[in-house]
Chain A
Amino acid sequence: EPEVTQTPSHQVTQMGQEVILRCVPISNHLYFYWYRQILGQKVEFLVSFYNNEISEKSEIFDDQFSVERPDGSNFTLKIRSTKLEDSAMYFCASSVRAVEQYFGPGTRLTVT
Chain B
Amino acid sequence: ETGVTQTPRHLVMGMTNKKSLKCEQHLGHNAMYWYKQSAKKPLELMFVYNFKEQTENNSVPSRFSPECPNSSHLFLHLHTLQPEDSALYLCASSHQLAGDTGELFFGEGSRLTVL
A and B interact physically: no
User: Which residues of A approach B to under 8 Å, CB–CB?
Assistant: none
* Interface residue ranges, B against A (CB under 8 Å): none
